[in-house]
Structure 1
Amino acid sequence: MIREWKDSTIKRFLKEGRGSGEGSEYKSWLQVQDINSQGRSTRTYSYKSQRVIHLLSDLQLYYWYLLEFDDMVLDVREQFPLLDFHEMNIPIDQELEKKLFSTKTDVPHVFIVSFMVTRIDQSGNSFYEARAIKSSTELTKKATIERLEMQRRYFEKKQIDFGVVTEMNINKQLARNIGWVLTAYDIQDYPNLVRNFLYLKEDLLRYLSNHTATFQMVFQRIEKDYQLDEGLGLILFKHLVATKQIKLDLNRKIDMSRNVEEYRIELPGIKSGGDKHAVNG
């Protein structure tokens, strides 16, 4: 990570538009290229926000998967800077006041929250929530606690809900499964799937309605019926889950050798009770 904030660095970031905008126009304040290579960082595309997302740890990645898949989330702004922090006149004691400026350069610290999330409530009204992603070991450090306390006071004054998320609060299996299906959200690179999509979808849904079949058997059948390359049945399935056209239990590891019925799969327009066609392995 950037070791020492300089006035020139902050001015450059502001000139680049970092930390500003919403949706596809937002630019992350910290980006992957700003981070030392030994860190765990990821660039990934958000179909919700329509732009590349910059995530600086595995925990951030896992939590972002949950946000990306959440229908009540409209937008996510990662590495969000509190650029007006020093203008907010936040009550800070003498000990915390020492943390407001760099001891080396005297440049004001730019505090960053991991995610600024735009959500909607049940009535369709939008609101913000801020989330700091930290490992539980980080919360044993005095400096981390002090930074989080300043953020808490900032968001309290802004009347924005603020919370700290650790690995204890993240369902990692759910997050991994979401990340797994999102790799097939866009299937434009598979012309055979795009060309026959409606027929493929209809037949795949019908085959999946036979709950005694395994996923593997279903995918082999769809590939055989449509003369698809091996693996395209799985990609089609992942795409339908990623786009919420199929729902199933994503809280457990998905094993292709297991029966469909074990995952409480929900298929639109298909009544449970079995497929009239037998699925042969």
Structure 2
Amino acid sequence: MAGTKSRKPTVEIVKRWIKAGYGQGQGSSYKPFMNVRDVPSIGASNMVTSRITGRNHHYLSRQEFKTHLLAEYSRSTLDIREQFALLPWDETQSIAKNLGIRHPHFPGTSTPTVLTTDLVLSFKRPDGIELVAVSVKLTKHLTPRNLEKLLIERVYWNRRGIRWVLATETNIPNVRARNLQFFEAALNDRRGAQSGIDPTHFSRKFEEHHAAHLSFNEIMTKTIQDIGVDIQVGHTLLGRAVWERTSRIDINATPLSHRSAVILTV
């Protein structure tokens, strides 16, 4: 979508957004209700292309981005939909009224907000597909007012028999998320594929040069000199192996950096 949505919409404008399909659909055709251009930048937004959905995803906070990476890494994930609109629009207004909670409005207007859930995930299960609604918040942002809005979300999803989860920094695997972010660029960097080198082969060479006293960069330097590629291609190839689960780098043990040690699984 070019440009940004109005930040002070009328009811008629919001109805047009809903009619246009924002916050609805699935897979590659899904359009988030809000994207990074629709909100004031606070330096925490992220865009990432998903290998699962094949589209660009828009995240308004680092915590949402981490949660996306964890979903992207899961073998069971079939679809990831961010900023999912809770429709019909009047239902959340009715829920809020029944709960005695003031429904949010677009700032500076009398127009009720279209509430959204940060991520709606589709997982493959033995008995079919499970939907999970995930609201993402840092614990410091769990103010009484935000808890009221989260209660509206929870009731909305409970009505549909869909599991609702509150994801904070205390209940997600943060080390894994950070390490997936360390290799995130490899998801869409074509230089690795253009090199003609198999990522698993590169990872095995990396592991051959591994030593407990060497940093990530020192092991990487030995590996790229051995194979004959530059550092960007090497990092991309190793990242692909991590995402494809053919690397023995333990992404759950300790946070990785260019200067950190590397732990391998047995």
Report the TM-score when normalising by structure 2: 0.82
Instruction: Spell out the pairing of 1:82-97 with structure 2 (5 A cutoff).
Output: 82-87=86-91, 90=95, 92-93=97-98, 95-96=100-101
Q: Match for residue 242 of structure 1? A: 243
Instruction: Spell out the pairing of 1:1-281 with structure 2 (5 A cutoff).
Output: 4-38=8-42, 40-87=44-91, 90=95, 92-93=97-98, 95-96=100-101, 98-99=102-103, 106-121=110-125, 123=126, 125-141=128-144, 143-190=145-192, 194-198=194-198, 201-202=200-201, 204-205=203-204, 208-209=207-208, 212=211, 214=214, 216=217, 218-251=219-252, 252-254=254-256, 262-264=263-265
Q: Shift of the alpha carbon at 1:244?
A: 2.0
User: 4+ residue runs of structure 1 moved beyond 6 angstroms?
Assistant: 100-104
Unaligned runs of 5+ in 2: none
Same amino acid, percent of matched pairs: 25
- Deviation larger for 169-178 or 150-159: 169-178
In structure 1, distance between residues paired with 2:6 and 2:249:
42
* RMSD between superposed Cα atoms in Å: 3.0
Q: Shift of the alpha carbon at 1:216?
A: 4.8
How many residue pairs are counted as aligned between the two chains?
A: 258
Letter in 1 for 2:188: D
Q: Shift of the alpha carbon at 1:232?
A: 3.1
Report the TM-score when normalising by structure 1: 0.78
In structure 2, distance between residues paired with 1:15 and 1:212:
58
Q: Shift of the alpha carbon at 1:62?
A: 1.3
In structure 2, distance between residues paired with 1:119 and 1:83:
22
In structure 1, distance between residues paired with 2:107 and 2:47:
32
Q: Match for residue 278 of structure 1? A: none
Unaligned runs of 5+ in 1: 266-281
